[in-house]
Amino acid sequence: MTALTLLIPGGTGQLGRELNRQAQQAGADVRAPGRAELDVTSAGQVVSAVRELAEHARRRGGRPVVINAAAYTAVDAAESAERKAFAVNADGPRLLAAACASAQVPLIHVSTDYVFSGESDRPYEPDDPLGPRSAYGRTKAAGEVAALPGRGGASAVPTAWVFGLGRSHFVHTNAP
């Protein structure tokens, strides 16, 4: 079995840290930079990071994969900072998708259920129409569209209520 060599932008965030931990436990070679190490809104940094990942993986006989966990996740704050949220949630995935396509590296883009309208009476399917109702949802929907043109070598994984150890999250802030 070929070992995975992963790049997890957003690797110091809540989701990124857990993906990193799980991947390492499974034997993957992981690089999980935070925003200070890899700014997903910088084309140069993104291209360089994906290129380095591909070269490193191929040198060691591994399979390179990018899992994009970088995101502007302050849902309420996005209403007044939509441009900032758009840069991370839409421009970042677009840059990652282009760099991954160029280097022939699969991309898994972590998204959110906020890209949908919330009016369905059944679980959402990958091809359901997008219908975001908030600035945050619009930026994440734009990121999906940018990252998945034709879904070539990319996949999106929508999430809801991400929570875990050590960080502020919905359960922590709303529990009695």
Reading the chain (176 residues) residue by residue, the pLDDT tens digits are: 568 999 999 999 999 999 999 999 999 999 999 999 999 999 999 999 999 999 999 999 999 999 999 999 888 999 999 999 999 999 999 999 999 999 999 999 998 888 888 888 888 887 888 889 999 999 999 998 888 864 445 555 555 556 566 655 455 454 55
Residue 139 pLDDT: 96
Q: pTM higher than 0.75, yes or no?
A: yes
For residue 135, what are the CA distances in angstroms to 76, 162, 172? 8, 19, 24
Nearest in space to 35 (alpha carbons), one of 21, 20, 16, 18:
16
pLDDT at res. 47: 98
The answer to whether domain 4-174 has CATH 3.40.309.10 is: no
What single string gives the DSSP state of each residue in 29-47? EEE---TTT--TT-HHHHH
Answer yes or no: are the C-beta atoms of 66 and 100 closer than 8 Å.
Answer: yes
Q: Hey, which residues are catalytic here?
A: 136
> What is the residue extent of each domain of the chain?
4-174
Question: So what's the pLDDT on residue 93?
Answer: 96
- Say what the pLDDT of residue 154 is: 56
